[in-house]
């Protein structure tokens, strides 16, 4: 508030990759939410990166730019929150929808949404719509999401006096960018898209502050920019701050978070990292200083340049400007340059965001973690088990790659990072190697239980106490921490299940893939988590019924481990009750911890057993996976029992 007219310009980067799994209507709701920030419109620019180069997404953005002329004045007049139209209309009760202005705005939104829906279902834009706007001439019959020319369209230019809304107030700049894709050139996934936006935006708005958000993460707080600027513009501390990270919140999360959550990371771990130099850069909901992304080293004179020169509006017409800037988004532009190495987001890692944030901190900068009372951003979380496992495979694989890279926090960060922050990074870098300990405790104690071999001290032994203490203390601490973070009792139990599933499937495959990459036998891949869910899956998700669905190696591993523990426990019961090979007192004296461990593993897997044997809906485990897992587990347990 003190700076008033001296507020810096802000560029917002929104990234989308595929209209089939990231629906255009969701993308433009995110775009509209950031266009409507409580911020001087002439100082705000929004760039949409469409890596698929889809005319469907461009059509949706074009319609959104027209709707924005009505939506932005409405938001400011009625102080609307949130400013994603879909989220706003869904948040109101019937009694709040009687106002005439509201009814008209909802009609306009539904009209726009229907147009976009018709085009998406048809899979192409009508010829009439193409004739209405010259920008569609950039697409041809040979364009595909993996092979298309660079396309740049300036839909709104705030430097143009005629770019105004229905109240004659200037609109923020809005730019569509589809960087060139060619099968012969590696495109470096999201990092490549972000770097293309960095280059293009430097010629249009060149804002000193950049916000990047995922296309499914709409702005939920219209004052989020001011919140971030309070750190960047602070008289004493601003010179050392490179980025301000906001937490990820999810609007579709169920009460008991059936697939786990980031709750403890957001509420505990990132706040802890904040005291040692700042949290990780997580790829969305993050405000950056542009110069730090360009590789600037920290210095005591590094206060943010609030008056960074904005490129003047050229005499050349918009068409020529667009053509000139398209070369900045070509597929070969950053070859044989420092882009992706010393400049921009780092290439060669599935978690380019974490790696980029780490290297920035190693140049002397720090970050800030800020969680306002009202969530700044709200997104969409996974609605199936497969989605969450694939997502965590990518995260844990990328984190382990960082550990073995030249940018490892252990050696690259040595002497540059606070030792506490190095340990903080190692929590995530060691996610995937942790799979082997979890796999051991999920298999070996159960097999030994089946054979009658005790692994732990007897209950009467004094050495039993350390084991009992570790088990009880860890569970109590974990439980209290989760409830303190705002979770529920059932939510904590679901978290334990997902903890087990991630470590015995996602992290194991992530570790193996990383080892293959280190020896040159595999290439880096980037899988976008689908944001589309059919009605049946969505209904089961809202009922907190786990969705197993499609067959995959991850699901096969989980099913085998679950059946191994079930057969081992059944084998023990058989020996105790039917054959009486072992005495009850002897079993509980010598193998109490193994019985407890095996019993907990069986209890945790109850939803999986239900999906294996009893469920009839499409969310059950496929018959082929069920047969393979039961047959394999039974064979292994039989071999162990008779060895």
State the helix-helix crossing angle for 435-451 and 507-518, rounded to 10 degrees.
Answer: 120
Residue 276, pLDDT above cutoff 90: yes
Give the rounded distance of the alpha carbon of 99 from its chain centre: 37
For the beta carbon of residue 488, count every other beta carbon within 10 angstroms: 13
Is 63 assigned to a binding site?
no
Least confident of 157-166, 312-321, 351-360, 523-532: 523-532
Please tell me the predicted confidence (pLDDT) of residue 130.
87
96 burial class (0-12, 13-18, 19+ CB within 10 angstroms)?
exposed
Residues β-bridged to residue 366: 241
Distance CA 410, CA 332 (A): 34
Please provide the DSSP assignment of 149-204 as one string: --EEEEEE-TTSTT-B-TTSPBPPEEEEEE--B-TTS---HHHHHHHHHHHHHHHH
Please tell me the predicted confidence (pLDDT) of residue 349.
92
Residue 583, pLDDT above cutoff 90: no
Is 190 assigned to a binding site?
yes
Distance CA 126, CA 130 (A): 6
Distance CA 12, CA 26 (A): 17
Please tell me the predicted confidence (pLDDT) of residue 308.
60
| Helices vs. strands in the chain: H and E counts, helices first | 24, 11
Please tell me the predicted confidence (pLDDT) of residue 436.
97
* Confidence category of residue 61, pLDDT binned at 50, 70, 90: very high
Catalytic residues: 51, 353
Please provide the DSSP assignment of 458-497 as one string: -TTSTTHHHHHHHHHHHHHHHHHHHHHTT--HHHHHHHHH
* Confidence category of residue 133, pLDDT binned at 50, 70, 90: confident
Please tell me the predicted confidence (pLDDT) of residue 307.
60
For the beta carbon of residue 146, count every other beta carbon within 10 angstroms: 12
CB-facing half-sphere around the CA of 335: CA atoms within 13 A:
9
State the pTM of this model.
Answer: 0.93
Please tell me the predicted confidence (pLDDT) of residue 535.
85
Is 22 assigned to a binding site?
yes
Please tell me the predicted confidence (pLDDT) of residue 530.
61
* Confidence category of residue 632, pLDDT binned at 50, 70, 90: very high
Q: Render pLDDT for 431-481 as a digit per residue (tens, 0 to 9).
A: 999 999 999 999 999 999 998 899 999 999 999 999 999 999 999 999 999
- Least Cα distance to 639 among 585, 532, 564 occurs for 564
* Confidence category of residue 83, pLDDT binned at 50, 70, 90: very high
Percent of the chain with pLDDT over 70: 94
With H, G, I as helix, E, B as strand and everything else as coil, classify residue 241.
Answer: strand
How far is the CA of 424 from the CAs of 113, 262, 264, 275, 417, in angstroms?
44, 15, 14, 11, 11
How far is the CA of 89 from the CAs of 101, 114, 221, 251, 460, in angstroms?
13, 15, 16, 14, 63
Residues β-bridged to residue 45: 11, 173
- Least Cα distance to 33 among 245, 216, 159, 156 occurs for 216
Per the structure block, which two tokens stand in for 181? 């894709």
* Confidence category of residue 528, pLDDT binned at 50, 70, 90: low
Q: Render pLDDT for 530-545 as a digit per residue (tens, 0 to 9).
A: 656 788 999 999 999 9
φ and ψ at residue 629, rounded to 5 degrees: -70, -45
State the DSSP code for 133.
Answer: -
φ and ψ at residue 379, rounded to 5 degrees: -125, -160
Please tell me the predicted confidence (pLDDT) of residue 300.
79
Please tell me the predicted confidence (pLDDT) of residue 5.
78
State the helix-helix crossing angle for 464-484 and 592-604, rounded to 10 degrees.
Answer: 30
Sign for the CA dihedral angle at 418, 423, 426, 427 comes to: negative
Please tell me the predicted confidence (pLDDT) of residue 260.
94
The residue ranking higher by pLDDT, 348 or 34, is 34
With H, G, I as helix, E, B as strand and everything else as coil, classify residue 55.
Answer: helix
Interacting residues of 555 by C-beta distance below 8 A, sequence separation 6+: 385, 386, 505, 548, 621, 625
Name the maximum alpha-carbon separation found in the chain: 94
Q: What is the mean pLDDT of residues 26-54?
A: 96
Bridging pattern class, strands 173-178 and 44-50: parallel
Per the structure block, which two tokens stand in for 483? 């409830």
Q: What is the mean pLDDT of residues 587-592?
A: 86
Distance CA 566, CA 559 (A): 11
Q: Helices (DSSP H) in 270-335: which residue ranges?
A: 270-274, 290-293, 318-326
Q: Percentage helix, strand, coil, to 5, in the chain?
A: 50, 10, 40
Interacting residues of 442 by C-beta distance below 8 A, sequence separation 6+: 500, 504, 561, 565, 601
Distance CA 497, CA 607 (A): 10
For the beta carbon of residue 308, count every other beta carbon within 10 angstroms: 16
Give one word for 146, left, alpha or beta, with left for phi > 0 and alpha for psi -120 to 50. Answer: alpha
For the beta carbon of residue 486, count every other beta carbon within 10 angstroms: 11
* Confidence category of residue 642, pLDDT binned at 50, 70, 90: confident
Q: Render pLDDT for 250-272 as a digit per residue (tens, 0 to 9).
A: 999 999 999 999 999 999 999 99
What average pLDDT does the structure give for the chain? 91
CA angle 409-413-418, nearest 5°?
A: 100
- Least Cα distance to 157 among 28, 54, 44 occurs for 44
Residue 299, pLDDT above cutoff 90: no
Please tell me the predicted confidence (pLDDT) of residue 309.
55
Please tell me the predicted confidence (pLDDT) of residue 57.
96
Q: Render pLDDT for 377-417 as a digit per residue (tens, 0 to 9).
A: 999 999 999 999 999 999 999 999 999 999 999 999 989 99
Interacting residues of 93 by C-beta distance below 8 A, sequence separation 6+: none
Q: What is the mean pLDDT of residues 571-579?
A: 80
Distance CA 621, CA 129 (A): 45
Q: Render pLDDT for 154-206 as a digit per residue (tens, 0 to 9).
A: 999 887 777 888 999 999 999 999 999 988 888 899 999 999 999 999 999 99
How far is the CA of 7 from the CAs of 3, 43, 270, 492, 577, in angstroms?
6, 8, 28, 44, 77
Q: What is the mean pLDDT of residues 64-73?
A: 96
Instruction: Give the containing element (helix H, strand E) for 635.
Output: helix 623-641
Is 51 assigned to a binding site?
yes
* Confidence category of residue 527, pLDDT binned at 50, 70, 90: low
Q: What is the mean pLDDT of residues 512-530?
A: 75
Distance CA 125, CA 409 (A): 48
State the helix-helix crossing angle for 606-613 and 592-604, rounded to 10 degrees.
Answer: 50
For the beta carbon of residue 43, count every other beta carbon within 10 angstroms: 20
Q: What is the mean pLDDT of residues 27-35?
A: 98
What's the chain's length in residues?
643
Please tell me the predicted confidence (pLDDT) of residue 229.
95
């Amino acid at each position: 508030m003190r700076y008033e007219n001296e507020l810096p310009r802000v560029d917002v980067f929104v990234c989308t990759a595929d209209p089939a799994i990231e629906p255009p209507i969701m993308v433009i709701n995110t775009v509209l939410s950031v266009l409507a920030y409580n911020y001087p419109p002439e100082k705000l620019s929004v760039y949409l990166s469409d890596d698929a180069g889809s005319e469907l997404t461009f059509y949706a953005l074009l319609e959104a730019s027209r709707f924005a002329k009505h939506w932005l004045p409405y938001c400011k007049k009625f102080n609307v929150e949130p400013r994603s139209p879909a989220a706003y209309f869904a948040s109101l009760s019937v009694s709040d929808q009687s106002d005439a202005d509201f009814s008209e705005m909802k009609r306009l939104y539904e009209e726009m949404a229907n147009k976009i829906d018709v085009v998406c279902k048809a899979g192409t834009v009508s010829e009439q719509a193409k004739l209405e706007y010259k920008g569609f001439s950039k697409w041809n019959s040979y364009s595909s999401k993996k092979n298309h020319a660079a396309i740049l369209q300036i839909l709104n230019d705030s430097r143009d006096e005629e770019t105004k809304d229905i109240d004659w107030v200037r609109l923020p700049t809005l730019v569509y960018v589809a960087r060139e894709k060619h099968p012969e050139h590696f495109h470096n996934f999201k990092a490549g898209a972000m770097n293309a936006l960095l280059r293009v935006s430097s010629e249009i708005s060149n804002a000193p502050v950049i916000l990047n958000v995922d296309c499914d993460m709409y702005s939920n707080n219209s004052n989020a920019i001011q919140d971030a600027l309070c750190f960047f513009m602070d008289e004493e501390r601003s010179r050392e701050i490179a980025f301000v990270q906001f937490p990820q919140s999810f609007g579709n999360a169920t009460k008991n978070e059936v697939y786990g959550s980031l709750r403890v990371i957001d509420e505990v771990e990132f706040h802890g990292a904040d005291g040692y130099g700042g949290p990780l850069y997580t790829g969305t909901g993050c405000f950056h200083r542009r110069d730090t992304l360009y590789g600037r080293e920290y210095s005591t004179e590094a206060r943010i340049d609030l008056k960074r020169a904005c490129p003047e509006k050229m005499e050349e017409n918009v068409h020529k400007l667009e053509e000139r800037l398209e070369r900045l988004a070509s597929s070969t532009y950053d070859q044989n340059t420092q882009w992706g190495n010393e400049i921009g987001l780092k290439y060669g890692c599935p978690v380019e965001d974490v790696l980029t944030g780490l290297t920035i901190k190693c140049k002397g900068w720090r970050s800030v973690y800020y969680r306002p009372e009202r969530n700044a951003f709200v997104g969409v979380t996974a609605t199936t088990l497969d989605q969450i496992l694939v997502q965590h495979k990518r995260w844990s694989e990328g984190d382990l790659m960082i550990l073995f890279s030249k940018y490892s926090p252990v050696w690259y960060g040595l002497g540059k990072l606070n030792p506490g922050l190095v340990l903080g990074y190692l929590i995530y870098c060691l996610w995937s190697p942790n799979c082997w300990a979890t796999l051991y405790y999920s298999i070996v104690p159960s097999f030994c239980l089946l054979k009658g071999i005790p692994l732990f001290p007897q209950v009467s032994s004094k050495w039993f106490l350390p084991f009992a203490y570790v088990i009880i203390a860890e569970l109590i601490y974990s439980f209290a921490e989760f409830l303190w973070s705002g979770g529920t009792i059932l939510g904590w139990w679901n978290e334990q299940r997902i903890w087990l599933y991630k470590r015995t499937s996602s992290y194991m495959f992530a570790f193996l893939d990383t080892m293959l990459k280190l020896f040159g036998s595999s290439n880096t891949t980037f899988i976008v988590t689908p944001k589309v869910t059919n009605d049946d899956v969505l209904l089961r998700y809202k009922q907190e019924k786990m969705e197993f669905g499609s067959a995959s190696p991850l699901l096969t591993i989980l099913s085998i481990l679950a059946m191994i523990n079930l057969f081992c426990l059944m084998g023990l019961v058989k020996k105790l009750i039917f054959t009486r090979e072992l005495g009850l007192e002897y079993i509980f004296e010598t193998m109490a911890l193994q019985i407890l461990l095996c019993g907990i593993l069986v209890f945790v897997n109850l939803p999986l057993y239900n999906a294996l044997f009893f469920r009839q809906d499409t969310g059950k485990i496929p018959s082929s996976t069920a047969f393979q897992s039961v047959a394999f587990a039974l064979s292994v347990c039989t071999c162990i029992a008779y060895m």
